[in-house]
Amino acid sequence: MQETLITQINKERLPKHIAVIMDGNGRWAKEKGQDRLYGHFHGVESVRSIVEGTAELGISYLTLYAFSTENWDRPVKEVEGLIALLVDSIRKEVPTLNKNNIRLHVIGDLSMLPDFARNELNEALEMTSTNTGLNLILALSYSSRWELTNAVKQIGLDVKAGKIDPENINQDTIQQYLATSEFPDPELMIRTSGEYRISNFLLYQLAYAELYFTNTRWPDFRKEHLYEALIDFQSRERRFGKTGQQIQEEKQLA
């Protein structure tokens, strides 16, 4: 199935940036009579598959929502298990990231993390910092409202310090103060597990993203599911507020 699906993807019209809300680990585990952490553990295999699939296609940016600001409110045992799993997986994956020229980035409030986790993360960021292939962005202890609050605060401070003139604030200014300032906006956002919401993820950046929802739970998500999402993405007409006729005319001119 995988082989035939990949041949249906137009390599000329791939998104540069895909963002994924990796959801459904807990339910996947419960359905198997297991502890929620068992689901998170199996979710790591899906991450490997999707990172590999994205890199193989030559896509430049992949953002994975791994842990939200609100996820800190889960039971302590789950939070600790998740952080330990994240740190452990990152440590184990660094050689593979380097082998595949993948650069790791993190967006989120890292001050919330325990020291050992932050240190491990910083080490992994450093060890992959010269890689020039896929940019793998982990959203960790991340939420859009945290990010936007931070951006507004920083802009205010820079106005006060005389570094920027409030009259000159425009959309580019805002972009520069986001945690994602180095990355283009995602064109495709995938959420697994049959939930149809954004859950505080990249609210500003997803303004014109195509949204793709699948019932597949994250631990079951593999490359072929990614291919299905890409084929669906390529069937859509992205109008950016214009009319369909304008878009067709622009296509003919190009």
List residues with catalytic annotation. Answer: 23, 71
Closer residue to Mg ion in complex, CB, 15/108: 108
- Positions 22 through 41 that interact with Mg ion (CB under 5 A): 23
Q: Is residue 41 part of the contact set for ligand IPE (CB under 6 A)?
A: no
Phi/psi of residue 190, nearest 5 degrees: -110, 130
Span near ligand IPE by CB under 6 A; candidates 17-25, 47-55, 83-91, 207-215: 17-25
Specify burial of residue 170 (Cβ count, 10 A radius: 0-12, 13-18, 19+). exposed
Closest residue to Mg ion, judged by C-beta, is 23
Cβ atoms within 10 Å of 253's Cβ, excluding its own: 5
Cα–Cα distance measured from residue 214 to residue 72, given in angstroms and rounded to the nearest whole number: 25
Paired tokens of 106: 């993190």
Q: Is residue 219 part of the contact set for Mg ion (CB under 5 A)?
A: no
Alpha helices in 20-143 (DSSP H): 25-31, 36-57, 76-99, 115-127
Paired tokens of 124: 């992994």
Span near ligand IPE by CB under 6 A; candidates 23-31, 96-104, 220-228, 236-244: 23-31
Q: Is residue 27 part of the contact set for ligand IPE (CB under 6 A)?
A: yes
Cβ atoms within 10 Å of 211's Cβ, excluding its own: 13
Give the binding-site size for Mg ion (rule: CB under 5 A). 1
CB 46 within 8 A of CB 120: no
Q: Is residue 66 part of the contact set for ligand IPE (CB under 6 A)?
A: yes
Q: Is residue 65 part of the contact set for ligand IPE (CB under 6 A)?
A: yes
71, interface contact from ligand IPE, Mg ion, none, CB < 5-8 Å by kind: ligand IPE
Which residues sit at the interface with Mg ion, rule CB under 5 A?
23
Which residues sit at the interface with ligand IPE, rule CB under 6 A?
21-27, 65-68, 71, 82, 193, 195, 197, 199, 218
